[in-house]
């Protein structure tokens, strides 16, 4: 694995590159790779940001100040955020990073191109947390000096009060989150907006598109109540539309920044999109959804007849309708309607109105209030977490208030136009977030008319003989992973726990803090085990290349390797660093001794049975009963696939294909090399032959054979694997459902073909 440079171009980025380019950057690269019309761009990588922190000495001081921070103390939160932001902005950016940004900017266009500078944090746009609006975007930037200033401000925004608060509440450690910055050609939109490729609450095949004049920021921020169009994918027709009164638009302002201007009267009530444009947008949304396998939240822009896709992220709110509050009961509602708008997040809530006109006044918001404001912004998220419902004057289904409300499971009504003017401070109201109505007082519903009881058929769970497991990287994701119904964890990466500490294992050894390291591992793994009681959890021992350790505290002792991917990593590192290996084993021992016998240990980058035998002997020497615990290996080097029978004879209980590395090692191709992108083929005949052969041997010896690489999240590959007799498949969290269905279809086909064959005899 080569060291990640300061700059990556859009053409060389894929979804697996989130640790380097963040959610936004990875999504742009992925969309460009499938042919969607994405404006040209490059990314200042997260590694460049981390090098900046290390070079300036900020890495230690920043995080130390946040460790004991009470994010519910608004005064302390704002003070800590202010200090952190000032520290980042005032620090000198290393000259090498500045030079690389300048070179890339001039390569993108010899003239000084006008660009958008967008933050892209490495923990954003996740399937269960959008991090909507938590970091900054700077539009209409021109010239090198202004560009570098905007990059620095994007970095600083990682430590804004709203971002620190949101990470804390989502369970993300500040140390583990980095930030990349996307530099993208600015599209001078005539009209722009946001699209949900499927309904953001129910998941129905209804594409919802919202649009207004000018830049899309007006729709995203809720500055304007946009037009709303609903396109039914089944009939391929626009089935509903709401043409809003669009009083303002956001436009570029000179050579830096944007301005809000009034829309001419003739355009305020004019329809933004034609039916043909709606259909074309819906088609692009469906392409993105099919590619990712989950519904997408897409930002778009139109100039003349040219349509551009600016961003795509997973919709995080489908199926969250029954969050904090129950839906309104059926029957006629007995109550006076005070204001109406769009139902943006379903549910019902009753409480007292608190009108918030400025985010700096969020201290007036109490638990259980009904928040009423002109529009929300990310600074209001702490208040949004407290309230029972949210009502806004402006905005639509895709604005900040709507997205965050759905993620929180809080009822919301947006685009009421006059909520702040009609409702009164302290007034008791009831909010219906599905119908988009605010009623006076506590609403009572009349009983629904009695009807004959009708049997309701519940969807049966999909059962498969092939185990469908899930990959987990962070303990915070354990509950969400378990909620998928996965049959266990096929890969728990512990290096993410260690990298989050920002200190190498050797640092803990040198400083006599081994117990601190062991407890971090123990607690992180235990969290995942507790989420999967009675189900297998395969924990992979440390696999961190030297270049990932070098920028951490204690990394000064790391060797400099020409190609870390082929270097001192995986089991080969542990075998030569017994003190480091022993700390890991101590955490495993404690868990086994406490009865977590569902935990299996998986050794990475094992190339020869001798390495497995040596590791097993070291475990035994440290008091592990190696005959009673479950030990296995990763198959990610061709030699381990070729020698799998020898491994089976040595006593492995399971083996799992790490396809990302297996493909690279087999084909001698670096998947991060833009010159070789089209040659990186997960289904290359040589790769498939190695996998097929290893599966056959594992079945012969009764060894469970699995896959945990990216290919395991591909339904087409899953079908092939089931056809070839694999025992289990471990996929990413967001892919479990589609992989389960792909496995079930394949198993049913195999059974059907066998039955037909028998009947024909």
Catalytic residue numbers read 400, 708
Tell me how far apart the alpha carbons of residues 469 and 632 are, in angstroms, rounded to a whole number: 16
Q: At what angle do helices 74-90 and 144-157 cross, to 10 degrees?
A: 150
Tell me how far apart the alpha carbons of residues 134 and 377 are, in angstroms, rounded to a whole number: 9
User: In 3-state terms, what secondary structure has residue 429?
Assistant: strand
CB-count exposure of residue 700 (10 Å: 0-12, 13-18, 19+): exposed
User: In 3-state terms, what secondary structure has residue 752?
Assistant: helix
Sign (positive or negative) of CA dihedral 47, 733, 399, 302: positive
Q: What is the DSSP string of 9-31?
A: EGGG--GGGHHHHHHHHHHHHHH
φ, ψ for residue 25, nearest 5 deg:
-65, -45
Cβ atoms of 207 and 183 within 8 Å: the answer is: no
What is the three-state SS of 291-348?
A: HHCCCEEEEEEEECCEEEEEEEEECCCCCCCCCCCCCCCCCCEECCEEEECEEEECCE
**Non-local CB neighbours of 716 within 8 Å, separated by 6+ positions:** 742
Cβ atoms of 466 and 727 within 8 Å: the answer is: yes
Burial annotation 703-731 (CB, 10 A radius, 16+ → b, else e): bbbbbbbbbbbbbebbbbbbeeebbbbbb
CB-count exposure of residue 617 (10 Å: 0-12, 13-18, 19+): exposed
CB-count exposure of residue 504 (10 Å: 0-12, 13-18, 19+): buried
Cβ atoms of 505 and 558 within 8 Å: the answer is: no
The residue among 317, 312, 365, 369 whose CA lies nearest residue 344 is: 317
Cβ atoms of 684 and 707 within 8 Å: the answer is: no
> The sheet that has 654-657: what strands, in order across it?
704-707, 654-657, 630-635, 599-603, 537-540, 489-493, 467-472, 728-731
φ, ψ for residue 384, nearest 5 deg:
-65, -30
Tell me how far apart the alpha carbons of residues 192 and 210 are, in angstroms, rounded to a whole number: 8
**Non-local CB neighbours of 481 within 8 Å, separated by 6+ positions:** 470, 472, 489, 528, 531, 733
**Non-local CB neighbours of 102 within 8 Å, separated by 6+ positions:** 144, 148
Tell me how far apart the alpha carbons of residues 256 and 138 are, in angstroms, rounded to a whole number: 9
Run of H or E residues at 580: helix 578-593
Note the residue count of the chain.
761
- 748: number of Cβ within 10 Å: 11
Q: At what angle do helices 46-56 and 18-33 cross, to 10 degrees?
A: 160
In which region does residue 413 sit, left (phi positive, over 0), alpha (psi from -120 to 50) or beta (all else)? Answer: beta
How are beta strands 654-657 and 630-635 bridged, if at all? parallel
Torsion of CA 564, 567, 571, 577, to 10 degrees: -100
**Non-local CB neighbours of 501 within 8 Å, separated by 6+ positions:** 175, 517, 520
Measure CA of the first residue to CA of the last residue in the chain; give whole Å. 54
Burial annotation 58-75 (CB, 10 A radius, 16+ → b, else e): bbeebbebbeebebeebe
CB-count exposure of residue 655 (10 Å: 0-12, 13-18, 19+): buried
């Amino acid at each position: 694995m080569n060291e990640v440079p300061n700059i990556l171009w859009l053409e060389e980025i894929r979804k697996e590159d989130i640790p380097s380019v963040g959610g936004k950057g990875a999504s742009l690269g992925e969309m460009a790779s499938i042919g969607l019309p994405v404006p040209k761009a490059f990314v200042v990588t997260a590694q460049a940001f981390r090098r900046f922190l290390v070079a300036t000495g900020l890495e230690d001081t920043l995080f130390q100040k946040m460790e004991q921070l009470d994010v519910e103390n608004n005064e302390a939160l704002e003070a800590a955020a202010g200090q952190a932001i000032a520290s980042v902005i005032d620090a000198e950016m290393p000259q090498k990073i500045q030079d690389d940004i300048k070179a890339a900017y001039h390569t993108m266009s010899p003239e000084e191109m006008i660009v958008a500078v967008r933050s892209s944090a490495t923990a954003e746009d996740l399937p269960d947390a959008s991090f909507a609006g938590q970091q900054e975007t700077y539009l209409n930037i021109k010239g090198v000096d202004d560009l570098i200033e905007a990059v620095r401000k994007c970095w600083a925004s990682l430590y804004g009060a709203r971002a620190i608060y949101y990470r804390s509440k989502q369970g993300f450690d500040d140390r583990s989150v980095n930030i990349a910055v996307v530099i993208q050609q600015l599209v001078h939109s005539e009209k722009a907006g946001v699209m949900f490729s499927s309904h953001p609450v129910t998941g129905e095949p209804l594409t919802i598109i919202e649009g207004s004049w000018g830049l899309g920021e007006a729709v995203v921020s809720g500055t304007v109540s946009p037009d709303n169009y609903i396109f039914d994918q089944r009939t391929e027709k626009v089935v509903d539309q709401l043409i809003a009164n669009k009083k303002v638009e956001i436009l570029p302002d000179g050579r830096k920044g944007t301005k809000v201007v009034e829309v001419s009267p003739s355009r305020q009530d004019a329809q933004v999109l034609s039916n043909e444009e709606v259909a074309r947008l819906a088609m692009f949304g469906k392409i993105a959804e099919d590619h990712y396998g989950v519904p997408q939240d897409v930002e778009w822009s139109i100039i003349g007849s040219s349509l551009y896709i600016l961003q795509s992220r997973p919709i995080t709110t489908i199926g969250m309708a029954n969050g904090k509050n129950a839906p309104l009961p059926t029957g006629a509602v007995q109550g006076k309607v005070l204001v109406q708008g769009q139902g943006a997040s379903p549910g019902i809530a009753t409480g007292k109105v608190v009108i918030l006109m400025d985010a700096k006044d969020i201290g007036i918001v109490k638990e259980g209030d009904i928040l009423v404001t002109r529009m929300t912004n990310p600074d209001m998220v702490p208040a949004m977490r407290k309230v029972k419902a949210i009502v806004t004057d402006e905005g639509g289904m895709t604005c900040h208030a709507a997205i965050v409300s759905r993620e929180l499971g809080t009822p919301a009504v947006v685009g009421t136009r006059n909520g702040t003017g009609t409702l009164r401070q302290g007034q008791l109201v009831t909010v219906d977030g599905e119908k988009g109505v605010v009623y006076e007082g506590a609403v009572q519903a009349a009983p629904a008319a009695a009807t004959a009881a009708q049997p309701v058929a519940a969807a049966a769970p999909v059962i498969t003989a092939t185990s469908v497991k899930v990959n987990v990287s962070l303990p915070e994701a354990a509950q969400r992973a378990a909620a998928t119904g996965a049959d266990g964890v096929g890969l728990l990466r512990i290096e993410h726990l260690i990298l989050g500490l920002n200190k190498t294992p050797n640092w803990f050894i040198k400083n006599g803090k081994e117990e601190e390291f062991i407890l971090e591992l123990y607690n992180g793994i235990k969290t995942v085990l507790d989420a999967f009681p009675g189900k297998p959890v395969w924990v992979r021992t440390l696999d961190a290349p030297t270049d990932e350790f070098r920028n951490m505290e204690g990394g000064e002792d790391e060797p400099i390797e020409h190609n870390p991917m082929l270097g001192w990593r995986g089991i080969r590192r542990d075998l030569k660093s017994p003190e480091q290996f022993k700390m890991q084993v101590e955490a495993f021992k404690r868990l086994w001794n406490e009865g977590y016998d569902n935990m299996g240990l998986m050794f990475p980058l094992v190339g020869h049975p001798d390495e497995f035998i040596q590791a097993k002997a070291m475990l035994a020497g440290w008091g592990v009963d190696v005959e009673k615990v479950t030990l296995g290996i990763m198959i990610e080097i061709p030699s381990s696939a070729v020698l799998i029978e020898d491994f089976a004879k040595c006593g492995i209980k399971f083996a799992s294909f790490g396809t990302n590395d297996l493909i690279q090692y087999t084909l001698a191709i670096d998947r991060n090399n833009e010159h070789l992108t089209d040659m990186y083929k997960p289904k290359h005949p040589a790769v498939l032959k190695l996998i097929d052969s290893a599966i056959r041997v594992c079945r012969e010896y009764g060894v469970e054979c699995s896959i945990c690489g990216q290919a395991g999240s591909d339904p087409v590959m899953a079908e092939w694997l089931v056809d070839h007799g694999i025992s289990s498949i471990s996929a990413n969290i967001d892919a479990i459902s589609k992989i389960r269905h792909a496995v079930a279809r394949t198993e049913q086909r195999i059974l059907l073909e066998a039955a037909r064959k028998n009947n024909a005899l």
